[in-house]
Amino acid sequence: MERTNSGWGSGLLGVIIFSGSLPATRVAVADFSPLFLTSARAVIAALLGALFLFALRQKRPERGDFISLALVALGVVVGFPLLTALALQHISAAHSIVFIGLLPLATAIFGVMRGGERPKTAFWLFSVAGAATVAGFALYGSARGTLTGDLLMIAAIIVCGLGYAEGAALSRRLGGWQVISWALLLSLPVLAAIAVATMPGTWNGIGIPAWIGLAYVSVFSMMVGFIFWYRGLARGGIAGVGQLQLLQPFFGFVLAAVLLGEPIAWTMIASAMIVVICVAGAKRFA
């Protein structure tokens, strides 16, 4: 029980950190191309990860681990950041939350397929109810999306769910921060080449908000958040802890209210309360 609760605590910290990812990406793609943003954030995080790996003399992954690490890199290092950056050129950050509400369900499905977990039937009912609540709340308050943006977000959710589940299963042996660090290091040569090739022709027109967005998604979204997230998934269960992602949109809105002075609607409070109940039910039956 103590191990499980520790996992849920770590997962919650990861979700809080991730809650700023989409707004930061939205700001950054105003001045950076999606390809440069995706590759640059991974390169910066990979250099930090390499520093920790070699400074702390971590054991290298076994040969059989590289397929799993490649899937992690494909899902959370390249796939999700690139696809969401492309999608946010066609849809608003608010509309993207419709799809983020489906990420816990995708993570749970891949947790069954790749992590060998077997949640109870009641878990799936709470999971679907939570996803429907988040999606309904986002649809109520956002503009309509576009077909291109929606398809890109669906693809992002699929590859991210796979990357989360694969990385969590591997974290049980290697450790959470080690998994994301090795995945970043594995993809470094390719992403470094892409970063150089897509580098802006001039840096003069890039505003401070875009630099802050790049810094946030590089250090926090790509590295620090995963330290807590993979640890939480590995200790608390992929399917169960993954449901904490249902709270991510609401943390993002609270962050916007505190930093930007945006109002908090009653629908957000009501939806958040329903989601908390769904997350608690999912924890009970996971």
Decide if 176 contacts 226 (C-beta within 8 A): yes
Matching residue, tokens 């494909």: 74
Token reading at 108? 């749970």
In this prediction, residue 154 carries a pLDDT of 86
DSSP, residue by residue, the chain: -HHHHHHHHHHHHHHHHHTTHHHHHHHHTTTS-HHHHHHHHHHHHHHHHHHHHHHTTPPPPPTTHHHHHHHHIIIIIIIHHHHHHHHTTTS-HHHHHHHHTTHHHHHHHHHHHHH-----HHHHHHHHHHHHHHHHHHHHHS----HHHHHHHHHHHHHHHHHHHHHHHHHHHH-HHHHHHHHHHHHHHHHHHHHHHT--S-STT--HHHHHHHHHIIIIIIIIHHHHHHHHHHHH-HHHHHGGGGGHHHHHHHHHHHHH-----HHHHHHHHHHHHHHHHHHHH-
- CA angle 244–23–221, rounded 5-degree value: 60
Every domain of the chain and the residues it spans:
2-285
| pLDDT tens for the chain, residues 1 to 286 | 666 777 888 999 999 898 888 778 878 888 998 889 989 999 999 999 999 999 888 888 888 888 999 999 999 888 888 888 888 788 776 667 767 778 888 888 888 887 777 888 888 888 888 888 877 776 676 556 677 888 898 899 899 999 988 888 888 888 878 999 999 999 999 899 999 999 998 888 899 999 999 999 999 998 999 889 888 888 888 888 888 888 887 787 777 667 656 566 677 777 778 877 878 777 777 6
**Residue from 175, 215, 18 nearest 107 by CA:** 18
In this prediction, residue 36 carries a pLDDT of 92
This prediction's pTM? 0.80
Matching residue, tokens 């809080």: 16
